[in-house]
Structure 1
Amino acid sequence: MIGISAWDYVYIRTCIFLLHLIAPLSVIYSLVSCLIHPPFHVPHVLEVWLNLEAIFYLVVFLPRKIYLQTVVTHPTADRDDRRRLFLRCHSNIPDPDRYLTKWFRDAPVAEIKRENVKDFFRWAFLNTGEPDPAYDEELEEYVGEMEKLLGRKLEPGRGDAQCLRLTLDKVEMLHRSLIWYLCVFIVDTLASIYLRFYSFDFHRTSLLQFLAVFPTRLLNLFNAYRSPARALTYWYRPHTSKARLPVLFIHGIGVGLYMYIPFLADLNAQDSKDPSDGQVGIIAIEIMPISSRITPEAMLKDEMCEEVHCILKAHGWERFTLVSHSYGSVVATHLLHKPKIASKIGPILFVDPVSFLLHLPDVAYNFICRKPTNASEHLLSYFGAKDMGVAHTLFRRFIWSDNVLWKEDIQHHRVAVVLAGRDIIVDTSTVMAYLTGTDDWSLETEGWENGIWKGDDGLDVLWFQDLDHGEVFSRRGTRKRLVDIVRRFTADE
């Protein structure tokens, strides 16, 4: 994340303002130049660029924006499963008033009435937005439990409050200019050079899949390694160690693997100090729809799991260490819920995970509803949440009940969870309290040795009070602690 100084704020707001101007100025200039002879002359190169930007906005962005509004097909569950999920969520709500207020987009409490709460529960647990008398009894039960938690009765009727229902609401996205995608192309090229330098081999997809990703990735044209999966690309470092486990790494929302290169490089550097047992293999998966590119729709959980399993099988990995960051914890959750993959997962490192306590509103609210005030929040909102692929993934491919992770899901694994005290996405203090099993949701960490809480069940929680979401990868000292954890985990079995 970017800093919080006044200069950072001015810089990021200026960048956003200038990028916002490109589309309207390009369209206006192109229309004027077509209808009348412009009273001024611009250089030919600039004129071509403005025309291309206008065409891109009108022919690519606007039609795609309409297409991406298509409503998702929701999963189904029987009443017992729904009730079990509701009660599990219900027992982990530290502040019920805040819970409702944030899910209802900061609406006044007086406007959140009984029917409004039923609308929310209808989406959250019944996976629908349409009223159906068949579910009235079930909804009444849920509302009654909510009233017990609130300690008051909800006012009957319907208020003006509108709840956040990601898979039913309009997909909120903003245009990206060709200049922006040129920057992404340059960053992707630099990342590829660095990864090749650090002994990673790129595994490409077919030519058809290559043409479906914009900006174009030249690696697909000049690479001999083919991914065994249909659509999933990845970088691979061969595993030659006989005594240690390989590592599967899953990144978060951003521009792909670029920000993680120092971390991956540090993992490699550890092996060079002790080459007697060979090297620990690494598979770093690329999730293109959340990497600032125009791509096909993000894969649903079953398809993603099959693609990952195909890659693991191709490389003969029967057991591995799982490392994920941010959105990568969603994919990690899916893998943990698939028995044929879960049986291969050894120790797990979650960095800034978004999956724990996902029923709470913070992750969805901070991505979608919060009005940004500082540089980091503006960076997250414009360059992250409002990106075309990211927005569609969050609104149409993000089924929260499939993505939520509970302590019971990781109880048979050695696990470390890294949390940042100034995280602008996750309510990390609440997640920390949940993981450490305390009833005090404002748990203090001063007594933790080196900021680490060690549980009796193989769960460790690392707390970095002064870091924001993702910053643990950008600082050498904190990154070294991640590398030490991974190195210890790979040697555990």
Structure 2
Amino acid sequence: MIGTSTPEYIFIRASIAGLRAITPLSVLYCGFCVVRPPQSIVGKVLVAWAAIETAFYFLVYLPRKHILQKAADHPEPLDPEHRKVLFQRCFSTIPDAELYLSKWFLGSPMEDIKRENIKDFFRWAFLNTADYNPADEEELETYINGVEELLGRKIEPGRGSAKCLRLTIDEVGMMHRSFFWYCIVGLVDTATAVHFKYRGFNLYRTPLRRFFDVFPLRPLTLFSTHHSPAEHTSYWYRPHTSKTKLPVLFVHGIGIGLFPYVQFFGEINQSEDYKASDGDVGIIAVEIMPICMRITPAAIAKEDMCREINSILEKHGWDKFVLISHSYGTVISTHLLQNPTVAPKIGPILLVDPVTFLLHLPDVAYNFTARKPRTANEHQLYYLASQDMGVSHTLSRHFFWNENILWLEDIEKHDVTVSLSGRDLIVNSDAVGRYLVGAAPESSESGSAWSDDDGAWKEAPWGGVGLDVLWWQEADHAQVFDIVRARKKLVEVVKRYVRSGKGANGTVYGTIKG
């Protein structure tokens, strides 16, 4: 993630403008060449490229944009009792009720948010629907009463002009990416492969019949002799040769794939004490292609992802491992922690810039999908990530917040380190940190407010047992992997975890089969 300086703002705006200009200029040039065909070799090369860009827009992007608008297949809602419990858990951790409503209603003033507007929001949030059903009115009124209690006032009856954010019901927003852009992605993918091969990793590819499922194409998969046991999930694997340490499972976040993490992986086994020990720590770095700025099939369901990851673990004989995930990868981690087959295999956990804590708050959804960008880093996030067709479709049609939310009790049996960035432009990291350390909201006459907190937890030393929070005041989302001091601390955490031998609950992990 870039910074917020004026030069960076000029750079990112110019880069985005240049990338967006490629296709319209190509269409215009093709039209011009119909009237005046080029005679020079350079002109013929340019018109050939312009023709590719034009065809890519009309034959790939436009049809795909239409297809991706298909309605989401929502999971069955929880039963009423579980919905009531979920509602209470959510509303006991809302630091600012007015800000909560305003952001979920896209920044609308409170006078435009009335009773029926809030019911529309709760139908989506708790009932997984946009449809009116008289049978739901009593339950919705209960939720409205809870909101009124937080606000300390009554909500006006009727319907206002405000429109709420309903991520899996709203249109899938996206911007066109040129063929040239996907060529850049392909080059980065190749560079990533070179880095991983240099560090002793091997690519475990999906079946060759799926070669054309991912664009840009990945020629390396044609030469890989290692096959993933999963139908849809490829991964990079560094063999685990240690008999006393735990291996590592890593799940990346939204972006250009695994490239931002190559230095982090390289440093995990990079020290004198490791070289003199009993072997290397194995790493499985899972690839989630639908969030990697590529054209791919839709993201698979959480049950399928857990099953595929478990098949990968079984292939390598891993019955216990350290789980590391970043950003969107913490969603996958949440699913693994909830999965009865995989959960017992999870040892210590490192969550970097997690998006799953306090997911009922509007920050993650609003900041990633609805916020109008102003600063350089916001423009980078909006164009390169939020408006990518694969990323947008994954979040708009396969991201169900009540399946993805992570609560403290879900991780209480593990040693867990949560790394938070003080300037995170996606996550409300301050609220997440306070929730994790126990500075819970308390009732007041004006609604809900966070209890007194002097921020001492941000400077607390890392202990390695139970729950630890690392706070990086000057870091933005994902920047901890670029800041040497922060990255070294994360590597230190991993090294301690792989050597720990037992968890906070006293469970001995034992050795790994292979």
Query: What is the distance in 2 between the residues matched to 1:208 and 1:427?
Result: 42
Query: What is the distance in 1 between the residues matched to 2:69 and 2:215?
Result: 20
**AA of the residue aligned to 2:199:** Y
Secondary structure at the residue paired with 2:28?
Answer: helix
The aligned counterpart of 1:386 is 387
Query: What is the distance in 2 between the residues matched to 1:361 and 1:89?
Result: 12
The aligned counterpart of 1:199 is 200
**AA of the residue aligned to 1:37:** R
Q: How far 1:443 sits from its partner (Å)?
A: 3.5
Secondary structure at the residue paired with 1:131?
Answer: coil
Query: What is the distance in 1 between the residues matched to 2:309 and 2:292?
Result: 18
The aligned counterpart of 1:436 is 437
The aligned counterpart of 1:117 is 118
Q: Is the 8 A contact 1:113 1:155 kept in 2?
A: yes
The 1:179/1:448 distance shift into structure 2, 3 A limit, reads: closer
Residue deviations 1:242-269 (CA, integer Å, cap 9, x gap):
1111000000011100000000000121
The aligned counterpart of 1:172 is 173
Residue ranges of structure 2 left out of the alignment (5+ in a row): 441-449, 502-514
**Is 2:28 aligned against 1:28?**
yes
Query: What is the distance in 2 between the residues matched to 1:444 and 1:17?
Result: 44
Query: What is the distance in 2 between the residues matched to 1:168 and 1:283?
Result: 34
Q: Is the 8 A contact 2:4 2:377 kept in 1?
A: yes
The aligned counterpart of 1:459 is 467
Query: What is the distance in 1 between the residues matched to 2:25 and 2:458?
Result: 55
**AA of the residue aligned to 1:241:** S
The aligned counterpart of 1:258 is 259
**AA of the residue aligned to 1:51:** A
Query: What is the distance in 2 between the residues matched to 1:232 and 1:64?
Result: 22
Query: What is the distance in 2 between the residues matched to 1:151 and 1:418?
Result: 35
Q: Is the 8 A contact 1:429 1:442 kept in 2?
A: no
Q: How far 1:43 sits from its partner (Å)?
A: 1.2
The 1:318/1:366 distance shift into structure 2, 3 A limit, reads: same
Secondary structure at the residue paired with 1:321?
Answer: strand
Secondary structure at the residue paired with 1:339?
Answer: coil
Query: What is the distance in 2 between the residues matched to 1:40 and 1:140?
Result: 72
Secondary structure at the residue paired with 1:343?
Answer: helix
Q: Is the 8 A contact 2:439 2:452 kept in 1?
A: no
Q: How far 1:29 sits from its partner (Å)?
A: 2.6
Secondary structure at the residue paired with 1:138?
Answer: helix
**AA of the residue aligned to 1:19:** L
> Equivalent pairs: percent with the same residue?
53
**AA of the residue aligned to 1:182:** C
Which structure exhibits the higher relative contact order, with contacts defined as CA atoms closer than 8 Å and separated by 6 or more residues? 2
The aligned counterpart of 1:61 is 61
Query: What is the distance in 1 between the residues matched to 2:326 and 2:276?
Result: 28
Query: What is the distance in 2 between the residues matched to 1:112 and 1:171?
Result: 24
The aligned counterpart of 2:9 is 9
The correspondence for 1:469, drawn from 459, 464, 477, is 477
Query: What is the distance in 1 between the residues matched to 2:398 and 2:290?
Result: 11
The 1:414/1:208 distance shift into structure 2, 3 A limit, reads: same
Q: How far 1:452 sits from its partner (Å)?
A: 3.8
**Is 2:480 aligned against 1:479?**
no
What do you get for the CA RMSD once the two structures are aligned? Answer: 1.6
Q: How far 1:435 sits from its partner (Å)?
A: 0.2
Query: What is the distance in 2 between the residues matched to 1:222 and 1:474?
Result: 31
The correspondence for 1:445, drawn from 434, 455, 464, is 455
Q: How far 1:454 sits from its partner (Å)?
A: 5.8
Q: Is the 8 A contact 1:454 1:461 kept in 2?
A: no
**AA of the residue aligned to 1:269:** Q
Q: How far 1:39 sits from its partner (Å)?
A: 9.7
**AA of the residue aligned to 2:61:** F
Query: What is the distance in 2 between the residues matched to 1:40 and 1:100?
Result: 62
Secondary structure at the residue paired with 2:470?
Answer: strand
- Give me the TM-score of the superposition, normalised by structure 1: 0.97
The 1:227/1:271 distance shift into structure 2, 3 A limit, reads: farther
- State the aligned residue count: 490
Residue deviations 1:78-99 (CA, integer Å, cap 9, x gap):
1111111111111110100000
Residue deviations 1:326-383 (CA, integer Å, cap 9, x gap):
0000000000000110000000000000000000000000011111111111100000
Q: How far 1:32 sits from its partner (Å)?
A: 4.3
Q: Is the 8 A contact 2:33 2:47 kept in 1?
A: no
The aligned counterpart of 2:131 is 130
Q: Is the 8 A contact 2:291 2:394 kept in 1?
A: yes
Query: What is the distance in 2 between the residues matched to 1:271 and 1:442?
Result: 45
Secondary structure at the residue paired with 1:189?
Answer: helix
Query: What is the distance in 2 between the residues matched to 1:463 and 1:474?
Result: 15
The aligned counterpart of 1:291 is 292
The 1:326/1:380 distance shift into structure 2, 3 A limit, reads: same
**Is 2:377 aligned against 1:376?**
yes
Q: Is the 8 A contact 1:204 1:219 kept in 2?
A: no
The aligned counterpart of 2:509 is none
Secondary structure at the residue paired with 2:256?
Answer: coil
Q: How far 1:276 sits from its partner (Å)?
A: 2.6
**Is 2:318 aligned against 1:317?**
yes
Secondary structure at the residue paired with 2:226?
Answer: coil
Residue ranges of structure 1 left out of the alignment (5+ in a row): none
The aligned counterpart of 2:443 is none
Query: What is the distance in 1 between the residues matched to 2:44 and 2:360?
Result: 54
Query: What is the distance in 1 between the residues matched to 2:207 and 2:32?
Result: 42
Q: Is the 8 A contact 2:458 2:470 kept in 1?
A: no
The aligned counterpart of 1:183 is 184
Residue deviations 1:8-43 (CA, integer Å, cap 9, x gap):
110000000011111222223324434x33699871
Q: Is the 8 A contact 1:239 1:281 kept in 2?
A: yes
Q: Is the 8 A contact 1:271 1:278 kept in 2?
A: no
